Amino acid sequence: MNWFRATSCLVGLTLVLSMTGVTGQEKADKKDDKKAEVKEPAVKSKGQLPTYWGQLGLTDAQKQNVYKLQGKYNVEIDKLEVQIKEQKAKMSEERSKILTAEQKKRLEEIIKVKAGTDK
């Protein structure tokens, strides 16, 4: 069970660090943009429209607004998903504290059998 806990912590830490790296890069990019003081032409956002929205005859401006809105919420959703993974890892750790040493050992055996790694 220790390998599961360690793996969960490692995955959560990796996600948090990768999110921090992305955010730090965005801040650096903004500073570089201010230094350059050269305005670049507006870049169109890319994304995917929701199902059937492509059949609605949206203008380019509407499509760009949809892409920007989805981008805004996807950042928040990604943060929440990281929090969910962290909470699940905490829950798993606390649950395992409820079991006795014998029960933990038996659970590991059951998992090995189910995974087919008992051979």
Contact 96, 1 (CB under 8 A): yes
Contact 27, 108 (CB under 8 A): no
Please list the pLDDT of the chain residue by residue as tens digits (119 residues): 444 455 554 555 454 445 444 444 444 455 555 555 555 556 677 889 999 999 999 999 999 999 999 999 999 999 999 999 999 999 999 999 999 999 999 999 999 999 987 65
Contact 25, 48 (CB under 8 A): no
The pTM of this model reads: 0.49
Residues 6+ apart with CB under 8 A from 8: 85, 88, 89, 92
Burial tier of 18 (Cβ tally within 10 Å: 0-12, 13-18, 19+): exposed
Question: For the CA atoms of 38, 39, 44, 46, what is the dihedral angle to 10 degrees?
Answer: 40
DSSP 55: G
